[in-house]
Every structure is written in structure tokens, then in C-alpha cells.
Structure 1
Amino acid sequence: MLSPHSSRRLGQDWETTGTAGNLQSLKKFNNQDFSRLRASCLSQGLLFEDDTFPAHVSSIGPNLLPESKLWLIQWKRPTELQGNPHLIVDGASRFDIMQGEIGDCWMLAALGSLTLRKQLDNVLPRDQGFQNDYAGIFHFRFWHFGEWVDVVIDDRLPVLNGRYLSVHPRTSNEFWPSLLEKAYAKLRGSYQNLHGGYLSDALVDFTGGVQVQFSLKDPPSELEEILKAADRSRCLMGCSTSGQLRNIELRNGIVQGHAYTVTGATKIRYKNGWEHIIRIWNPWGHGEWKGPWSDDSPEWDYVEPKCREELCRQKEDGEFWMACKDFQQHFSWLYICNSTPTFLDFGDQNHTRWSMDKHICQRSQVLSTGRSNYSSGAHSRNPQYFFKVTDSDTKSYNVVISLIQKYADNTLDAQKFKIGFLIFRENSKVLKQDFSLARDVTNYFILSPGTYAVLPVTSENQHFEFLLRIFLKNQDYNEKPNYLPSPVLPKEEPRVNQDSSYKTIFLRYANQGSAIDASQLHQLLNEEVLQDEMASLGGRFSFDSCRGILALMDLNSNGQLTLQEFGSLWRCLAKYADIFKREDRSRSGFLDASELKSAIRAAGLPANQQLLRLLALRYSDAAGRIGLSDFICCLLRLETMTYAFQNLAEGGTQLSMTAMEWLTLVMYS
């Protein structure tokens, strides 16, 4: 029988927390402080040289290349390779990446998905470059065993016979892919440790999210719906092929033993029915599927021209479409990653939410043996982690368990154990179990209401450190039993709240001018306000909505915003973003009708039931949810129109309507 009190007793040497790491309180990898090191180099007129990851074969690894080639490697800075190097040219995209000699397609496939979902800024800070304060030093951020770490590197890149050993950009003077790859190699110990790896690991390292793997040889019956739900909720996705021989391109264009990025999934009208198609990108930057739904295939002749034009790029860039049935036949695994497992919400008309509890092992423990010789009394000797299922809908997945083992010294040749977890219900035997030799063991379940316990275990009867995360769907957030940890999601302060930075941001997008127009505002809002994945779940700012925002703030009626006008807008954005994140208690990335009502009240603005209904019609999606971008547009207009009415009334204007009648008129127009 499970004892709630044993959770405290057995877990007293373990740290339990409800957060998932914080980009605002980074851990310094190797205790290197980027700002201090750069300032020191600038003051001395020196270019940084990283002694902890030197320009030496030790950073490459002894087995990546034959010894004769290893000693031919030269290390060159971008300033030596190009006359006018840049960190980023015209924005970062998956099409900037072309895989080099190192077999790190698994890492590049994850990176391609990261750029697609506009989450690169979490990994690549923008406070660096080659134009200002250049000192040969750069830094990147990765999620490492439950916390974000800042990794500092110098910009000396390995070159063999005049060619990049590592990834190289499609644009010759753009260096963010090569530098990011070097930082990730440093985190993992060497470039050699990037030569072969797991796409699932990279997805988690770049986001701190939860990833689930789906076998395409035995896929869930809802695979097509899962793909579309993942695409709608802007999840990171990747896939891989099997094969004894790696990087062998077949006649059909598919590469064996290779990782790809899944960049889209949709259902389109085809002939007299529907076809589910998947869009995939090859990190090589070339090499595409040659079968049905490839660029020049006849299937596109039966698709409505407007739809065909929207979906087809007709460009040799490594990206292609294929039918879902062909995808299942030619690929082996699908990987989906997100901050919460929203991709399991397909067919969910109630749009329920997910919560998360996290438990980090602070010291190694000897855990019970696994599947083959697990003893019934072993749970009394092991830490138990309790959770409660309150969701009564047993037709959809409602629990996800993720267990990550920490490799010693974070190197691939460190000892790995077959790890897993057991799930118990009170007064029951083992209900569920999952084991794997991988770093990350994650699975999803349908569990009926009740109290359960998770036991992390290893089949080796050995010490190991782990991170356990429990994701629960449709929980009662007000219920806090005294023996269960309160389900809390990661909280981060909205980046838009840094009011002192608005001048710097304004000047960055004003192109050295004194004002910004709608196009510049469009780029600014999408890049600065929707930086993280959760903020962008509700969709991006459209150009038309940005023209509307500009019109509301444009006091001079000249189609531009001055610095002063932008400052007023920025303070509004900070306020609205803060309200949105406070009211979105489930961290779903959306507000429902009741949360919208509470948010408007928090903003100190008036709204009756009729107005709330119209606001939902005007600004919400088909499911009645409002994302951050639409919420900002709504609140900005509501506040402006409220003040406009007050000014008219106070100015002596004869108004034959109430404030609510006025707002009802102007807010739905």
C-alpha cells in the first residue's frame, strides 16, 4: 500500500521544485562569465582564447578523424575566413544551415525546428556580434539537466583542407550556425560527441521541453491528428530513418540513418477526397524526396491553385512534402517536443490544460532493479513521487512521465544505464512501466482518477542521478492536498517588461531613423514580444493588426511612431504581457472567456457580458481562446477607446450613448 507520508521520509534528501529552469538566472558553464571576459578582452585589446575548449585536437576528439587528418586541422576566426562576417544575416532560418563533415544531423534537425518556431533567441543571445564590441568571444544557452546554462566560446572554428569541418551556413558570411554548434560541442565535451546522437536529446537541450517519441512502424492510430495538433501548437518536431549504413541516399531521395526536421503537417483537398501530407527538411540543405507530393510530382495538379502556391516552394533547399502514409513507410521515428504535451490534445473540444511537477535528484541513489527482478517490497526503499489524476475523461491521454538520467561528466562515452519508471496506484501492483538505455525515457498514458506514485528505477542496481517530470492534464489548480506537490508550471518574467530597454529596441528597428513604420513595427513585435514559444502559441502579429496598433498610438497621424510614442506603446505592452501571463495560470499560451474577463478587470477596464461576448467573437480563435498577440490588440484598443470616450465626455461633447454602448460599437467594428 502506498503511504503518502513515506514520500516525505524517503524524499528528504532530494530537492523537489515546480520550475523548469530560468533564462533570467543562468548557470555559468565552467564558471565563465561572458560579460566580464569580454570586457577584459576589450580593455586589453585582445581576442578571447578559451582555455577550457582550446583550438586543439582535444576539442575535436581522438576518434572523429584519422590521426593524419586531425593534425591538419586549422583553427580560423570568421574575421580570417570572410572580409565582412556577421552573426545573423536577414534573420535566422533553417535554410541558413548546411551540414558539414560531422554527423550531427540530429542536432541540426532540432536546430532547424527551433528556428522555424522562432525560439532561437532563447539559445542565441543577441548581445553579441562582429560589428560592436567584438572581442572574439560569444556565448550560447542550453537547457542542461533541469537548468539553463550559459556556455562561452571563442570564435576559432576548425577548418580542414580549406573547408569547414563543422556546419557551414548557406550565406558565406553568416556564422551563427557554426558558432552555436561549437558551443554545443563544448557542452557535450568535444566535436566527436556530436558525431551521432539522439534528436530527442537535442530538442530537450534547446528548449527545456518534454519530448515524446512515436514509432512509425507501430504508430498510434491518431498519428495524423497528433501531427496536426503539434503543428497548430507550434511544437518542435523531427523524424529519423533507420539503416545500418548512415547517410546513404536511396533512389527515392530519402537518406538512411539520418535525422530530419518536420516543418509542417496539414490536410488538403485532393481529387474527390482529402490527403494528409507532411513537410520535412533535410539538414544537408539538399537531397529531397522524389516520390508523390515532391516538388514536381503530378499530385499537385489536382490541388486548388491557391493552396498549391501557398504550400509549394519549388526550390532545392532540402525541404519537401510527402504523404503521411509514405512518411510512415520510409521513416522510423517521429519526435515531438513542447513545453507541455499539447500535441496530445487532438480532438479535445474543451481545450484543457497541462501542469507539471519536477523532481531533481541531488545525489546518487541505489535504486531497485528493474523489470526482470523487481521485488514487491522495493518501493519501501526508494523515493516515491505522488500525483493525483482528477480528469474524468478516460478517452484521451492525461499523464506524461519523463525521466532523464544525467551522464557522468556529460560525455557520450560515460556509463549509461537502462533506466525507467514504475507507476503504482494505491492498493495496486505495478500498473505501468517503461525502460530504455536512452538518456530520456518519456511515455504517455490514460489513467483513471485516483492517486498514483512513480518510482524511478534502473535495471543495473547502480547509482544514477535523474530528473523526473510529471505532466498532468485537466487538473484542479485550487486543490492542494497536504501530501501532494502543487502542480506548477515554469514561470518566467515577460521579456517585454524591461522598460529601460525600449530605446535600444526602437533604435535597432528604426534603421538609424527617428521613427518606425508599420513594417518595422510588425517585425519588432513578432521578434521582441513573441520571443518564447509559449508567447507565440496564439499566433504572430499580422501586418494589418500592426497597422491598427500604429494608428492607435500615432498622435501625429503620419503613419509612423516616434521614440516617445513607441515608449508609451512599450509600457502598454509590458503591462498587457504581465497581465496575460498572470491570468494564464495553466501556461497554455491562451486565455479562455473567464480568464479574459479577469484580465480585463486586472487592467482596470470596463466590460459587461455583452461586450465580453463581442470581444471573444472579434479576437478569439475558433475554440474561443485568445493568444497573446490578439490579447494585446484587444486591450490596446479597449483602453484607447475607453479614454477616448472619457475625453469626449469631459470635453463637453454631447453624447447620446453610455460608455458601454460606445465600447460595444467601437470594439466590434
Structure 2
Amino acid sequence: MGLESVRINDKYETYNDPSVDHYSSQHHLNRRRKVNPLSTTTANTLNSHHYYCGSHITASNLSNGNDFPNASNYSYLWKVCKERGVLFEDPYFAASNKALFGKKESSNSHKIFSSVVWMRPFQLVSRPKYITEYNPNRRFDVEFGDGSALLSSNQPLFHATSILYSVPKLFDRVINPLQNLNPNNYAGIWKFRFWKFGQWIDIVIDDRLPTYKGRLLFMQCLDGSEFWAALLEKAYAKLYGSYDYYLKHCFTAQTTQDLTGGIAQSFTIASHERHIIHQMIASAVPRSTLLSVCINTSDANSPNKSYRLRNGLRNVCCKGEWNGAWSERSLEWDHLSERDREELTIRCRTDGEFWISFDDLLNNFTNLDLIHIGPDDWMQEISLHHKRPWRAVLARRKWKKGFNAGGSPSHKETFHTNPQFHVHIPKSGPNKLHVVVSVTQLYETNTELQDYSLQSIGFCVFEVPPNTIRLSHAFVSNNAPLDITDFTTTRESVTFFTLPAGDFIIVPSTDKPNQETKFLLRLFTDESTNIWEVNDDNIIFALDSQIPKIVESIAQPALLRQIFIRYGPLDYVNVVPQSYCAFVNYHNHQSPRVAIAALYGQTVTGVSNGFRPLVFR
């Protein structure tokens, strides 16, 4: 099918695109399964309870002999549990050592792990709470337990959650604060949301938590009666197959992406020149980007520490305070005027925030992480409105063997067959445009469920003459790329850079030809630009509108249909007002090219419900 994506207000649709194949980590739960009767001797059963007595429900006994429905269907499971007066037990992430270590169930012989007891919140405290009063301006009152430190000095979820905690709307999307432990609603089942390959997926768990001598073993709230942090970590461990796997193989930027859906970048400070780090921070701070620095150590007795960069530094999750230059009572403040001192003090009043010099930042921290937040989330998150929003374009595509999997630029005979995306930066705009380019390949989080290998991926940027339609074999043979990333076997390849006015073509590719996999391309820019795809099957249309204007209906599908049907038979027109875009699917391959040639740069009136006309880019 010929597909073009009609983009409005530089927004992108990531949830309900009917023209793409969605992928979920819950796909393994969709297979139809035979029912196994519920064992009457379930380990760690709840023999007495404030509200229930001894009854439990698992996925294997919900359907009375019929095949069990999707185990990620939270509403269905909760309803059945409430109707039967039982507590949920998750058969896909059972309360056992396999949840701790995956297939390597006995890989850690420490006495703590040989004495784990799985307990529900009501078994640990008499009056448990899911989450108490939420205040993003206070310090992050969470700690990791003895089991976390024994498995790894790296605590990716702990640090990522401390960053997420400062952006309330994004935090609520992940943890769903409307969940609670009220006995009228309680069924022992919980739901959390994580971002995976361009869409949000639900992870459903029970609330049996690993404990040792009556204490939670992993991440936990300082208030012992509050359980959102421990439950969030169990859901995240399920996403990756086990506590052991996520603690040892995930890293902070990746986990922050799983929690926010942003584009993640991580830099080792010592590996970059001073001016590069300064340029990165100076470019990111005024834009819709979350920044954090951390101190990574391999010493389990000296755990990693994480700080969020805002006006100054904010110690979001660690005990102790900075006592060097520009600390609260340092001599450097005496050299400022009263006015400057007052202004800086006002900007850094939140608990845990402090100022630090750039040189001390470089000397005391090991890693810098950037999480670029897309315009949809910027619009929802009030705490980010003092920053400039990114404009965004998204495309889901696939490298196909013998068709468009041309390999890296070193393969000059086939490289030009790769998917290509044209970026036009008008001369009437600013002198330079900040651009974030991300190529994410299809990946599997729980590798124990599916043997899934990543390809070596990257992308390059060519500067081209204005009238260039596609990179040809001759052009690639005679012109070097303006920029090229390293080709690495990672799930995402990202670059944050600036471009002058002109025309550029971005080419995502695998390292070697004929390697097949799906990929997700995301382009963030800080100014309005013209971006379109120049492949035979898929053409991107953009409708120019202004952030952050919100309209309930950007255009009627019937009116858009009248415009596009002139250029060929249509399969459908699907308007997605909440994301300011529409998807138009033609019946043949030729029509998208004809439509883009006819409509590019044209203004169409009468279809925007009283708002500004639609301008096709």
C-alpha cells in the first residue's frame, strides 16, 4: 500500500497509527493457552487477611476450562478477582527465584536470596498505602534495598525514577496514582505503563514482593507503609524478565526512556572534550530536555549517585550535600552583588538543589544523560513549559532484504537503496537549527522469552543541492556524508547536532546489506522545518500549525478526503486530533508521489474549522 502521513503542528502519532504493525512486549501473552487447574498447594499463600481468606486467582483458572484471554487485560482480571473475592497471582512472573534471576535461578548463593519470602503489602504493614501526597519539589524519598546492592552497584530504575519524579504528568502516566490499596478496590493486581518501540504498553503484576526478614529486598519508599516504588520495580523487572537482568543490563538513560518515551543520550564525561560537554548542556537546558549527571562506581559499598540538572544541580535521590565552591555557605557568594545573589538564591530554593561550577561538574561526575521530550508530552507537562518545545516527525519503517536494506556508506553499490528522509531548512529562519536524530531498531526486552539479536545500526547525513529528490548511486560515490554515526549493536542510535540553512538527506541503515529489521526514526527540531520521505511507498505530508495551540478537531476526514482523492483512489483517511496529524492511505504506489508534487507548498482553506488554513509541507 502507498502510505503518506499527514502531519499537523509538527506533532507525531505514536499510539494508534492504523497503517503500521504495532509491537508489544505482551505479544507472548496473546497466544492461546490451554488451562491448567489451580494448584491447591500454592507457595506463600495468604492464610489470613484483613479482607480475604486464602483464595487466589491465577490466569490458569479464570476461564472455567476455556482458553484464557489476554493476561495483560487488567480490567478483565480485576473484575473477575473482585467478583470471586480472590487475590490475583501472576503466572507469567511467578513469586519464585526465577523472577529474581531468570533462567539462572540459583546464580547467587548469598544467604539473603536463599531465604526470600514473597509477601503482599497487607502482610508487611497493617495500613499500607500505594502513594501518599505527591510533591515533585521535595526530595525523592526512595531507597534501594540490600538485594539491589548485592546484585549490582548500578541502579538504573532508581535513578531514572528520581528523574521521572520531577515531571508530574509523566510520572502519573507510568504509575497511575488512582490505583490504591483501599479494601473496596483491592484485588492484588496492579498495572504500570512503559514505552517500548514507539508505543506505551501495560505491564500487569500481582503484589507479592520479595522480602528478607520482613523487609523489602529491592527498591522501596522511605515511608515503610508506601508501596508504589516496590510495585513499579516489580513491573519493570517483569518487562525485562527478572530483577537480576534489569539491574545488570539496563542503564539510566535507557530506563529513563522506558519511563518517558523520550530520545535518550548518554555521555561519558571523561571521553569528551570540555567544550563539547558545555555545548551539549547549553543547547539542552533551554529546550524540552531532561538532563541528569551521575557518579558511576563499580563498588557495591559506594552506590551510584544521580543528580538532575535544572537551574543548578538538584540532588534528587542521595543523602548528603555538596560542600564545595558555590555551596550554600561558600566564600564565592561574597563576591556577588546583593541583587545577583538574591536572584540565584531564588532560582535554587527547592530541597536538595544547589549550585556548582562547570569545572567541578566535570571533575566530580562521570556521566551526563539527556532525555529529549517530544511535543505531545511537553504540551501535557506544565513543569516543562518554561522550556522551548521540540517539533517532531516520526516514521516506522522496515529494512527489507533485496529492497531497501542497503547497508552502510561503505557499501556504495547498495547504500542508496536505503530509506531516505529530506530535511529542508529555510534561509529565512535562524542561522542554525538544533536537531536530534534517533534511529531505534525493533528490540526485545525479555530475551528469555524470545531469542532476539540486534543488528548493528546507525545513520548518516548528506548535504544535497535543493532540487535533489533522492540520493543516487553516483551521488553517494562522489560525495562524503556531512556526518555519520558509529554503527553499533544497540537498540538506539542518537545524535544531537546543529545544521545551517539548506537541504539535507538523512539515511538510516544497518551496517551490512540485506539485514532485515523494523526501525523507528524520530527527528526533533527546535524550529519549524520541512521534512518529507523520498521513498516510493511512503511519503510524509506535514500540515503547518503553531505549538502550543490546541484544537479539538483539526480537520474533518470527509473534507481531507475531498482533497486527496483527486490524486488517486483512497483506502482511508484517519484524523488523530490529539496528536495533530492524520494518516492518508492510497490504494496504489503512484498516488502519493502525485499528491505530494501537487500539494507541496499549497495553502488549502475551508477545512480547518475556523482556525488557520492548512499549509501542506
Looking at structure 2, the residues matched to 23 and 108 of structure 1 have their Cα atoms a distance apart, in angstroms, of 32
Change (3 A) 1:460 1:23: closer
Query: What secondary structure sits across from 1:485 in the alignment?
Result: strand
Looking at structure 1, the residues matched to 399 and 519 of structure 2 have their Cα atoms a distance apart, in angstroms, of 8
**Per-residue deviation, residues 132-181 of structure 1 (Å, max 9, x unmatched):** 41111110101101111011011111112333221111222111111111
Structure 1 gap ranges (5+)? 1-6, 10-16, 250-254, 266-277, 343-350, 498-577, 584-597, 604-669
Contact 2:290 2:371 in 1 (8 A): yes
2:440 match: 404
Change (3 A) 1:87 1:232: farther
Change (3 A) 1:160 1:368: farther
The 5 A counterparts of 1:189-228 are 189-196=241-248, 197-217=250-270, 218-219=272-273, 221=275, 223-224=277-278, 227=281
The 5 A counterparts of 1:18-29 are 18-21=12-15, 29=26
2:292 match: 238
Contact 2:256 2:371 in 1 (8 A): yes
Structure 2 gap ranges (5+)? 4-10, 30-69, 377-387, 465-470, 553-575, 582-606, 613-617
**Per-residue deviation, residues 220-270 of structure 1 (Å, max 9, x unmatched):** 747557546644545322223355x34564xxxxx6xx35131423xxxxx
CA deviation after TM superposition for structure 1 residue 415, in Å: 3.9
Query: What secondary structure sits across from 1:36 in the alignment?
Result: helix
CA deviation after TM superposition for structure 1 residue 378, in Å: 2.0
Is the counterpart of residue 468 in structure 1 residue 513 in structure 2?
A: no
The 5 A counterparts of 1:124-135 are 124-131=175-182, 132-135=184-187
Among 327, 330, 354, the alignment partner of 2:391 is 354
Looking at structure 2, the residues matched to 481 and 84 of structure 1 have their Cα atoms a distance apart, in angstroms, of 60
Change (3 A) 1:179 1:420: same
Is the counterpart of residue 120 in structure 1 residue 152 in structure 2?
A: no
Looking at structure 2, the residues matched to 486 and 150 of structure 1 have their Cα atoms a distance apart, in angstroms, of 31
Is the counterpart of residue 264 in structure 1 residue 310 in structure 2?
A: yes
Among 157, 163, 187, the alignment partner of 2:239 is 187
1:252 match: none
Name the amino acid aligned to 1:327: L
Looking at structure 1, the residues matched to 179 and 401 of structure 2 have their Cα atoms a distance apart, in angstroms, of 38
CA deviation after TM superposition for structure 1 residue 8, in Å: 7.7
Looking at structure 2, the residues matched to 478 and 314 of structure 1 have their Cα atoms a distance apart, in angstroms, of 41
1:106 match: 156
Change (3 A) 1:464 1:98: same
Paired residues in the alignment total 462
Looking at structure 1, the residues matched to 535 and 408 of structure 2 have their Cα atoms a distance apart, in angstroms, of 30
Contact 1:105 1:259 in 2 (8 A): no
Is the counterpart of residue 73 in structure 1 residue 116 in structure 2?
A: yes
Query: What secondary structure sits across from 1:467 in the alignment?
Result: strand
1:333 match: 367
Contact 2:288 2:390 in 1 (8 A): no
Looking at structure 2, the residues matched to 163 and 409 of structure 1 have their Cα atoms a distance apart, in angstroms, of 28
Change (3 A) 1:238 1:488: farther
**Per-residue deviation, residues 18-46 of structure 1 (Å, max 9, x unmatched):** 52236999968333111110111111111
Query: What secondary structure sits across from 1:88 in the alignment?
Result: coil
Query: What secondary structure sits across from 2:92 in the alignment?
Result: coil
Looking at structure 2, the residues matched to 353 and 309 of structure 1 have their Cα atoms a distance apart, in angstroms, of 29
Name the amino acid aligned to 1:357: L
Contact 2:189 2:204 in 1 (8 A): yes
Q: Which has the higher contact order (CA 8 A, sep 6+)?
A: 2
Looking at structure 2, the residues matched to 394 and 308 of structure 1 have their Cα atoms a distance apart, in angstroms, of 30
Change (3 A) 1:461 1:68: farther
Contact 1:357 1:488 in 2 (8 A): no
Aligned-pair RMSD on alpha carbons? 4.5
Looking at structure 2, the residues matched to 123 and 363 of structure 1 have their Cα atoms a distance apart, in angstroms, of 34
Looking at structure 2, the residues matched to 452 and 67 of structure 1 have their Cα atoms a distance apart, in angstroms, of 54
Contact 1:23 1:122 in 2 (8 A): no
The 5 A counterparts of 1:147-186 are 147-186=199-238
Change (3 A) 1:332 1:455: same
Looking at structure 2, the residues matched to 341 and 183 of structure 1 have their Cα atoms a distance apart, in angstroms, of 27
TM-score normalised by the chain length of structure 2: 0.64
Contact 2:439 2:522 in 1 (8 A): yes
Change (3 A) 1:482 1:491: farther
Among 326, 341, 349, the alignment partner of 1:293 is 326
1:389 match: 424
Name the amino acid aligned to 1:205: D
Change (3 A) 1:364 1:49: farther
Contact 2:195 2:258 in 1 (8 A): yes
Change (3 A) 1:142 1:479: closer
1:44 match: 84
Looking at structure 2, the residues matched to 310 and 189 of structure 1 have their Cα atoms a distance apart, in angstroms, of 45
Looking at structure 1, the residues matched to 453 and 389 of structure 2 have their Cα atoms a distance apart, in angstroms, of 40
CA deviation after TM superposition for structure 1 residue 398, in Å: 3.9
Among 196, 199, 202, the alignment partner of 1:144 is 196
Contact 1:109 1:238 in 2 (8 A): no
CA deviation after TM superposition for structure 1 residue 440, in Å: 1.7
CA deviation after TM superposition for structure 1 residue 390, in Å: 2.5
Looking at structure 2, the residues matched to 582 and 75 of structure 1 have their Cα atoms a distance apart, in angstroms, of 46
Change (3 A) 1:332 1:67: closer
CA deviation after TM superposition for structure 1 residue 455, in Å: 2.9
Looking at structure 2, the residues matched to 434 and 211 of structure 1 have their Cα atoms a distance apart, in angstroms, of 15
Looking at structure 2, the residues matched to 389 and 599 of structure 1 have their Cα atoms a distance apart, in angstroms, of 25
Is the counterpart of residue 83 in structure 1 residue 151 in structure 2?
A: no
Identity of aligned residues (%): 26
Change (3 A) 1:59 1:228: same
Name the amino acid aligned to 2:392: S
Name the amino acid aligned to 1:108: F
Contact 2:129 2:181 in 1 (8 A): yes
Looking at structure 2, the residues matched to 247 and 313 of structure 1 have their Cα atoms a distance apart, in angstroms, of 32
Change (3 A) 1:247 1:486: farther
Is the counterpart of residue 95 in structure 1 residue 140 in structure 2?
A: yes
Change (3 A) 1:495 1:91: farther
Q: Whose helix proportion is higher, 1 or 2?
A: 1
The 5 A counterparts of 1:176-575 are 176-196=228-248, 197-217=250-270, 218-219=272-273, 221=275, 223-224=277-278, 227=281, 230-233=284-287, 235-243=289-297, 245-247=298-300, 249=302, 258=304, 260-265=306-311, 278-281=312-315, 283=317, 285-300=318-333, 304=338, 306-307=342-343, 310=346, 320-340=354-374, 354-361=391-398, 367-368=405-406, 370=408, 374-380=410-416, 382-392=417-427, 395-408=431-444, 410-411=446-447, 415-424=453-462, 425=464, 426=471, 427-428=475-476, 429-431=479-481, 432-435=483-486, 436-447=488-499, 448-458=501-511, 462-472=515-525, 474-476=527-529, 484-487=539-542
Looking at structure 1, the residues matched to 611 and 122 of structure 2 have their Cα atoms a distance apart, in angstroms, of 52
Change (3 A) 1:237 1:446: closer
Query: What secondary structure sits across from 1:286 in the alignment?
Result: coil
Query: What secondary structure sits across from 1:128 in the alignment?
Result: coil
The 5 A counterparts of 1:619-630 are none
CA deviation after TM superposition for structure 1 residue 293, in Å: 3.0
